[in-house]
A and B are shown apart, each in its own frame.
Chain A
């Protein structure tokens, strides 16, 4: 079988046997795939220290149904500055776990690959900011087609821009206007505007949520993500326990 080259981000690594590793990757050319790196713990020549979570690699892979074989890896970027802050490590792990959970194997998604690598590059370059996490989540949902409806009421389809007393829909999949909802978490129109801007800007660092807006955006996005998860995210629990 022919070996091909892939540009990929490591989403997770699991020890297998004495010296092998099973690596979950998100590749530009192939989407999500799992690969077996034989002797990865001992062979410094083929893999070096490359098979680490959220590293971006150029990989030599023999594609197979189920578990592909990883033949070698060259580092494109290990994002060294992410590894110097616990908060950055947690957020990078969270982004990778979200992609790992929400993407099916073999589904190519160039926009999602660009979004993930842009987030990792941004985390590596600038101080960690909670707004960037929400920016990533909003765009991740958009790219995957899970974006919550932000312009119109999820019940009466009225335009939200002209309405007051907005609330988060109990299902977590949209916003309700004041006439359609009496209960539920209140959401300000400013937060909705910032979320819409996050989806149209396309660059990290340009949208900053104020503290109350961050909590509201968090409630909207967390609920929208939770609808599509099959199990709780380990990295999220980790983030909460180490408070970063």
Chain B
């Protein structure tokens, strides 16, 4: 067994905590950083900067350095809110350039089997935003998993009585895919949600 110095062992241990990083990758990354001290300093500084500066936006609960975040403070459609499970889902929505409203991050999804209940998510905060009265539509962009569907159904139940339009992302056959290779459940949903041309 190879013994490294205490500081290198600690670095390897920290790197291995990252997703997708095992023993070999941690070792490769550590030696790469040791070979380039400038990169090592820059990485260490940026990590400390992120830790000190990044927080959740007090309005949408996305990740930001300035509060409110740029998505909440710039000129966008303030009558529509898109509800997503995680901050990275906002990136997917923004990449599409199809949505120009505001966002709300729940930080998870309801899960009966994992015991994640409404009080574990930012649902009360969403309802406070809606009760202010300027929102006309809520677009539910939670994942199309059982948990995502449960969350969307629960939110619909809460929001509908406020006379706010509730919409859900469409789902069906992915663009560019062959019908013969699509699973039966997706085809079933696509047929149910078919639209007239």
Q: Which residues of B contact A199 (CB under 8 A)?
A: none
Contact status A85-B153, CB under 8 Å: yes
Contact status A242-B119, CB under 8 Å: no
CB within 8 A of A86: which of B115, B145, B154, B183? B154
Q: Does B144 contact A (CB under 8 A)?
A: yes
Q: Does A211 contact B (CB under 8 A)?
A: no
Q: In which size bucket is the chain A interface?
A: 20 to 34
CB of B47 to closest CB in A, whole Å: 20
Give complex CA distance A49, B186 in Å. 9
CB of B130 to closest CB in A, whole Å: 18
Q: Mark B135-146, 1 if CB is under 8 A from A, else 0.
A: 000000000111
Q: Does B157 contact A (CB under 8 A)?
A: yes
Q: Does A145 contact B (CB under 8 A)?
A: no
CB within 8 A of A89: which of B112, B144, B189? B112
Contact status A52-B112, CB under 8 Å: no
Give complex CA distance A128, B150 in Å. 15
Given A49-B183, A241-B117, the answer on whether A93 and B112 have CB atoms closer than 8 Å is: yes
Give complex CA distance A90, B116 in Å. 12
CB of B20 to closest CB in A, whole Å: 4
Give complex CA distance A93, B145 in Å. 13
CB of B166 to closest CB in A, whole Å: 14
Q: Does A123 contact B (CB under 8 A)?
A: no
Contact status A49-B113, CB under 8 Å: no
Q: Mark B145-156, 1 if CB is under 8 A from A, else 0.
A: 110011001100
Give complex CA distance A239, B112 in Å. 7
Q: Which residues of B contact A234 (CB under 8 A)?
A: 112-115
Closest to B155 in A: A86
Which A75-96 residues have a C-beta within 8 angstroms of B? Answer: 75, 78, 80, 83-86, 89-90, 93-94, 96
CB of A130 to closest CB in B, whole Å: 16
B contact set with A: CB distance below 8 Å? 19-20, 110-119, 144-146, 149-150, 153-154, 157, 183-186, 188-189
Can you list 25 A-B contacts (CB < 8 A)? A19-B20, A48-B183, A48-B186, A49-B186, A50-B183, A53-B146, A78-B185, A80-B188, A80-B189, A84-B153, A86-B154, A86-B157, A89-B146, A89-B153, A90-B112, A93-B112, A93-B113, A96-B113, A234-B112, A237-B115, A238-B110, A238-B115, A238-B117, A241-B118, A242-B154
Kindly list the 6 A-B residue pairs having the minimum CB-CB distance in the complex, ordered from nearest.
Answer: A234-B115, A93-B112, A238-B112, A18-B20, A235-B112, A86-B153
